[in-house]
Amino acid sequence: MASTTEPVATFPHARIRSRTGGLPVEVFLIAQLGHGAGDRMYAEATARQRAHPHFIDELDEPSTKLAGTDFDKGDATALYTFAVGPQGHPFHRHAGHRVFTAVTGSAGALLRFSTASDAQIAADPHSFIDALHHVRLPPDSLFTVRFGDGAWHQFAAPHAGSTHPVFFALSCHTDELGGPLPQAERDRVLSGDANLASLTELLPDAVLALLEDMPDAAAIPTVALAFDAAPGSSRQRLCARVRGVLGNLRGAISRWRHARGYIAGRGPRVSALAEPLPHSLLREELAGEFHHQDTFVLSVRGEGFMGLRASRVLADVLDGFLQHRPAGVSALMTLRNVLVRPLRLRTSPLGCPVSSLLSPQRDRLFLDRFPVLAQQVIQGDRLAEVVLGADDRHLVFRSCVGVRIVSDDRIDISLGTRVRCSNPFGHVYLALIDRVHRTYVAPAMLRAAVEKAAERSEVLVASDGLFA
């Protein structure tokens, strides 16, 4: 513990000079959060982290890569989350520069750093301990850390036997290729396969043995940072006890509740047309008589679209209809299926415009995969369309899904439908669903399918950020 206490008007901070002349280790305390907030955040954030497709659990430091490098565009940064539980994690270092921001658990955290170089440790392993510094952080606090390549560090609970997590962090690797990376790991970074564990080097066994025999930690130079009450004061100890109790409670409640997140956005507008597009195959369907028609078009704007194959984009969109169904449309289809099953009408989990994508027929397929009634790929594969549809007891419907590469910075994706009623019930049914179909079902299905296609294919990029 520091021998003197100094009040500051700005962010409490610690600065540890590097023994090798490199960048210092800098720790800034940013804000004090509510009682028990650290344990709650840890419980909820780690649940979301575990659900991420890039989640790994290695070296007592579960993590996930949120965003990777893009060297083609000159971006060498990467963004990770990682968590340190009550058991702490082993001493380690990274080749590159690191900046991370974190929230401590409801017992606080102990940050341990040593800036001894390889040459110093090889000459005398005790130099690692000579360069050792500790930083103590209070419970439920927001802080940020910055250090250069080669800084050994370990993050642990402030007291042995603690049941509270140490912290949850968001880490920025400012240069994923920075520092003396081994060639094998450099190749992994360039290929996009690197992760937090692969970029980590553990402390040599000889130094670990010294740490285990190290004298009392009180002999290690320590800076304690805090808000509201001086470190070690009776007020600070009382506050820590209260935070610990509330942290256990709020953490347990958060683990019991399902951690949810939501995404809402306003992206490219879905335009409604009264007539099928001039090139649409839908113009040839039910041409003699129909009682309903609509066409919806979503224009995606970006760069580098010219030269793409429309058929490939169309396949991703069709797969998007199958894999990314709007929750509201699925609920409406469930209700619809319950109501019409006694009438022996067709039922499907997919919305009517594309429900025939689940058809078992295989005599006519688009790209050897999707069952269709008709298809065309023309204009040098800059225009691709398929016709879907089915005949039911009360009506016949045909839908046309199309992709057109309009220019180097624009793609139009369309969904059009025509319906012919077969009997009076069909007319009643159509009148009941017409408004919700036009205003919600068809536009929502088109947007969701294109969003899924954007995830599957790097060709759909919108300048307003909806698709990435």
Q: What is the pLDDT of residue 463?
A: 36
Count of residues in the chain:
468
Q: What is the pLDDT of residue 224?
A: 94
Are 150 and 22 in contact, with CB atoms under 8 Å apart?
yes
3-state helix, strand, coil in the chain (%, to 5): 30, 30, 40
Instruction: Provide the 8-state DSSP code for 229.
Output: S
Mean pLDDT of the chain: 88
> From CA 341, how far away is CA 334, in angstroms rounded?
11
- What value, to the nearest 5°, has the Cα angle with vertex 384 and ends 380 and 389? 155
**pLDDT tens digits for range 216-265:** 666 789 999 999 888 888 888 888 888 888 888 888 888 787 767 776 66
Residue 124 tokens, joined: 């005398």
- What value, to the nearest 5°, has the Cα angle with vertex 246 and ends 241 and 247? 95
Q: What is the pLDDT of residue 263?
A: 67
Per-residue pLDDT averaged across 31-54, rounded?
Answer: 93
**pLDDT tens digits for range 133-149:** 999 999 999 999 999 88
Per-residue pLDDT averaged across 106-111, rounded?
Answer: 95
Q: What is the pLDDT of residue 207?
A: 87
Are 177 and 96 in contact, with CB atoms under 8 Å apart?
yes
267: which residues sit within 8 A by CB, 6+ positions away?
447, 451, 462, 464, 465, 466, 467
Q: How confident is the model at residue 2 (pLDDT cuts 50, 70, 90)?
A: very low
Distances (CA, A) of 338 to 326, 353, 431, 433: 19, 19, 19, 15
275: which residues sit within 8 A by CB, 6+ positions away?
293, 295
Identity (one letter) of the amino acid at 340?
Answer: V
Per-residue pLDDT averaged across 342-358, rounded?
Answer: 85
**pLDDT tens digits for range 165-224:** 999 999 999 999 988 889 999 999 999 899 999 999 998 888 888 888 775 666 789 999
> From CA 44, how far away is CA 50, in angstroms rounded?
10
> From CA 52, how far away is CA 194, in angstroms rounded?
16
State the DSSP string of 16-81: E--TTSSPPEEEEEEEE--TTHHHHHHHHHHHHHHHSTTEE--TT--EEEEE--BGGGTB--EEEE
Are 446 and 321 in contact, with CB atoms under 8 Å apart?
no
84-98, 144-158, 446-460: least confidently modelled range: 446-460
Residue 205 tokens, joined: 């066994």
**What percent of the chain clears pLDDT 70, i.e. is strictly above it?**
94
